[in-house]
Amino acid sequence: MSSVDFLNQGIYVLALAALCAGFVDAIVGGGGLIQIPALFSGFPTEAPATLFGTNKLSALGGTLVSAGRYLKQIRLPLKLMLFASIVAFLASIFGAWALTFISPVFIRVSLPAILLGLLIFTLVKKNSAFAHDPMQDSFHTRLILFLGVAIIGFYDGFLGPGTGSFLMFFFVSFLRYDFLHAAAATKVINCVTNIAALCLFIPAGHIQWGLAVVMVVFNILGGLLGSSMAMRLGSDFVKKFFIGVVLLLIIKTAIDSYRLIGF
């Protein structure tokens, strides 16, 4: 695609989508809810793998920047994060490999119910996620971390939508992080899973580099805005934002499932 093609295909709309996606991703994840439909709408004849690869590269820019912003002010357990990152990287690659011969239809149809259960659990635990009381590094903690990150990392490589929300829920509900610390941890793991996916997309040529460069700039700007707002307004704001994004994910995935099963 030439620069003329970019203008004809609505590059300004895609830049705005990347900005909004970076903002949402930096706070609770779920930026793909905005960015992926915009890419498919802007380039309906492009190979899906190329659009997914372009999305991953664009998202990585904002995720790296927002993760850096969080880590300047929020302390995370280094050894546990390194352990989780290794698990997430391998699981994401395995998920992407599994996608080559397993249909994701069942998971896509199940997503609305899974997300609804996640939202109900979060709302029921009204007093959770405001007092940061993380589990200490132990075999039990690492086992929980391994299982959770392996499943979510595999899902990110295999399908992807809502990965940030699943990670937020996991760190809050199972490792007793508040929402602000969970947002920071989520960004770290998201960086790793995006890099893992790009290890497959880039060698296969599934990146539209010109488009990705434009989108990554705006995704980074959105990431800077989102992470700054989250740190300024705190865990209560992040929880409310999380609930809003999950509600949108439920609606979006329900519509996709409705179309998928042909009703």
pTM for the complete prediction? 0.84
CB 162 within 8 A of CB 253: yes
The predicted pLDDT at position 263 comes to: 52
At 175-215, the pLDDT tens digits run 989 989 999 999 999 999 999 989 988 998 889 898 899 99
pLDDT band at residue 126 under the 50/70/90 scheme? low
CA angle 153, 229, 35 (to 5 degrees): 45
Residue 159 has pLDDT above 60, yes or no: yes
Q: Hey, how many other C-beta atoms are within 10 angstroms of the C-beta on 204?
A: 11
Average pLDDT over residues 232-252: 87
The predicted pLDDT at position 96 comes to: 81
